[in-house]
Structure 1
């Protein structure tokens, strides 16, 4: 069971018709996805590492300095003492600011800061609530009981805020450290990763292009070979190297081409033999048919003097002899077309006179209505034009009855002749086959209706002029055959004068 192509494949085929482009785009997308994922993971890991390192260093230093300076202050220290302790705590390599809060002897709160940017208002409320929870007193330990921290952003600058209360009802301290250097380092890392991703994408596109060329070059050679094979160059073969799937595909193509060449050669041999047999038989039959035709003409002339019992048989012999003679002539004409020896003998022809002569020679004047202006001159082969007209008009009379209407139209460089009958038309299933050789709409048709070569020969004669014949059914009923020919067939018969002698010799044989 065949599998339907996926929507993604159909979508890609719609917007990217080139297989090379699809390979490059898919390769680039995969590489971009991998590069972005790797860069994102690397950035996240480095970000956490940088921030954690800076955070731990600042908090550990703040814990130590809070215990060393604030923890040694007397109970209810003065604001000046808190100020000195805050400045001492901020005077470290971590470059943070400090706020210390405690109550004085009179019970009034005192909050001092080591800098100008950091105030108690900058500390988040939740952090203050966590720090100010009631702590158990442990007089033996003056270190901060617990350290709380939080990252905040003021303006465009990230900060780390930490806070703790010194055990033993000591002061509460808060620190504010800028994480701007770490942010700048992470931005530089992000830019570096973005550049690396871009370079990886460019490299992947170049690599995909090289890979696509490597993969598609054998496919392209296979396509070129298939095209040459389709043009009839059956000796086309591919050079095969390697053992991969493409090499196996090339070997399969070579085997198929070799088998096809053998079959075509065999069929050509058989076709040539059949064509030669038909041509030889047609020529061989022509001599006795000439003699038989002469005898039948004598019998036809003496038909009135024959016994009435014999007359029908004589008439049958005469009609069948004519039919057989027409069949031989048609077969000879077909073999010329098949052998490519049919040639045009061009002459200037008045179309109306040519059609009138055709129907007059066959006694069709009363059955044909001609709509053609006199003086329409064309350069065609008169004999082959007569064959075309005779077959089209005769076919219309035979299957459509009279009257048959023949109309002629001209354009700048083309001639159009329409032959329309009054019959029932051509069945739709028969219409595509009306010009096939030996084709009959029904196997039960009587033998007198012809050999099935007339319309085929008419079409071949139109083709050799560079023209065409089409068939259709008219809306009001009846079949319409349309003949289109160039007004000057010299372009398809440049050597018509040189070929005329050989064609005349062929007619005389």
Structure 2
């Protein structure tokens, strides 16, 4: 888990964990997001079409009504005698009936003009209008259009109403239609502005919006429910298969899936059960073969002890009397003694391996100082190192590096690592084998660095295999059996520790043993690096 997740509240962290682990939740969520996107797009398109349809219908209606009012005004003006020159009275006779009709039909009217005079804003000059109407509701663009004689025009606006004190009471969207008439009294062209509110269209659009939102929510809930049910039919068998697989991995090899029906999931469950049965049979066969092999190794090792003891006694007699033999017989007695020593070591290692394989190895743990262990083993292997003309040095801190461990097993691991390094060291180069010890609050470690033939790519994992050699042509000067590193790996695992190897051809190798402070305590890092500081950077 990342540090960011650790810093989150527990509820959010549980939600993220559920999101990562539940394919059903992710499928439902992605389906809802896609459905919401589609429904939102379709709903927006329908609302736009409905809005445009309502507005177009309303525009056609108000323009037709404005034309009707203009035609009625022209008819009334046409019946006025030409001798009537009272423009103010004619304006009143023209606008008052329209204002009255507007109050009953729900529109307002403004009379402005004549054109060419009082060219300022309508709101800034004397006009006649419906009571309570803010004449500033007429847009400037439409006023500019009628500064000269022009045909009927319309535009959208915001209609504002005022109280008797001039305070704004309300505002609502509307349509303003402008048309011109000529007054008989002064021959001037006046502009009639009809302001029609869009409250009905707004209510209709709000009703349609609520209906679409309600339908969208219900549709999304339905889609979520259907998706949940559909995915559940697929995910439930998968979850059952996961649980059965976990039980199989835990060793309960008799677990099987329940098969119902004949569909694809049923056939999958059948195939899974067949696979589990085959695995169970093969695992049991391998376990039986392993038991036979372990028993064979153990029995052979024990049975060889008796003839080996007899041969050892005879070999000791011959070796002690070698001075009385001729040169060839004396050399044969020495070779026999050497090979008997190696054979006896091989039997001991085979018995130890058989105990590991049978799970019978036990620890005699106590607090030990790895610094003392390193010095003891180096002193014990110094004759072998001098024979190979190789120096061995120990680099350790002045303070103890303590760890709870089996002293016999850890000394055996360190001895195997050092003798292995001596076997593979290049003589005559003047480079020493370096044994380094370090520790921290959680772990203690020992590294053994040599400058021999090294390890090729992938060989750092093979080196712990039984009887494996990095260089098959190289003889074992220490009399090793080929099982030392395998036993060392098992010893480190028995302590809950690590035994790792690094190497490059021609640059030598380094082995690192890391032990927890307490047996089988969790290990997260080692006090010493696996790759030595003197290693060259790989060529890329």
The verdict on a shared fold, with TM-score over 0.5 as the criterion, is yes
Q: How far did residue 340 of structure 1 move? A: 0.5
The equivalent residue for 2:487 is 457
From 40, 44, 59, the counterpart of 1:40:
44
The equivalent residue for 2:332 is 313
Counterpart check, 1:71 vs 2:75: yes
Alpha-carbon spacing, 1:491–1:180, altered in 2? closer, same or farther (3 Å): closer
Larger deviation: 347-356 or 59-68? Answer: 347-356
Structure 1's unaligned 5+ residue stretches are 1-12, 104-110, 134-147, 493-509
Q: Deviations over 1:251-284 (max 9, x none)?
A: 4433433333233223222222222222222222
Larger deviation: 114-123 or 290-299? Answer: 114-123
The equivalent residue for 1:285 is 304
CA contact (8 A) 1:370 1:407 kept: yes
Structure 2's unaligned 5+ residue stretches are 1-15, 115-125, 160-170, 523-540
DSSP-derived class of the 2:54 partner:
helix
From 177, 190, 196, the counterpart of 2:195:
177
CA contact (8 A) 1:416 1:482 kept: yes
CA contact (8 A) 2:256 2:273 kept: yes
DSSP-derived class of the 2:489 partner:
helix
Larger deviation: 254-263 or 398-407? Answer: 398-407
Alpha-carbon spacing, 1:457–1:177, altered in 2? closer, same or farther (3 Å): same
> How do residues 362-381 of structure 1 correspond to structure 2 at under 5 angstroms?
380-381=405-406
The equivalent residue for 2:425 is 400
CA contact (8 A) 2:497 2:520 kept: no
The equivalent residue for 2:107 is 96
Larger deviation: 207-216 or 277-286? Answer: 207-216
DSSP-derived class of the 1:309 partner:
helix
CA contact (8 A) 1:240 1:251 kept: yes
Counterpart check, 1:297 vs 2:297: no
* Mapped partners of 1:242, 1:126: distance in 2: 80
> What TM-score comes out, normalization by structure 1 length?
0.69
Alpha-carbon spacing, 1:401–1:95, altered in 2? closer, same or farther (3 Å): closer
* Mapped partners of 1:33, 1:465: distance in 2: 58
Q: Deviations over 1:124-179 (max 9, x none)?
A: 3687599857xxxxxxxxxxxxxx45233146644434466899x99988451322
> How do residues 335-374 of structure 1 correspond to structure 2 at under 5 angstroms?
335-345=354-364, 352=372, 356=376
Alpha-carbon spacing, 1:258–1:149, altered in 2? closer, same or farther (3 Å): farther
DSSP-derived class of the 1:310 partner:
helix
Q: Deviations over 1:441-477 (max 9, x none)?
A: 1333447764321111122223323444334469x97
Alpha-carbon spacing, 1:66–1:242, altered in 2? closer, same or farther (3 Å): farther
The equivalent residue for 1:435 is 464
CA contact (8 A) 1:97 1:113 kept: no
From 323, 330, 334, the counterpart of 2:342:
323
Counterpart check, 1:272 vs 2:272: no
Counterpart check, 1:391 vs 2:388: no
Matched pairs, number: 454
* Mapped partners of 2:511, 2:180: distance in 1: 110
* Mapped partners of 1:95, 1:486: distance in 2: 91
> What TM-score comes out, normalization by structure 2 length?
0.66
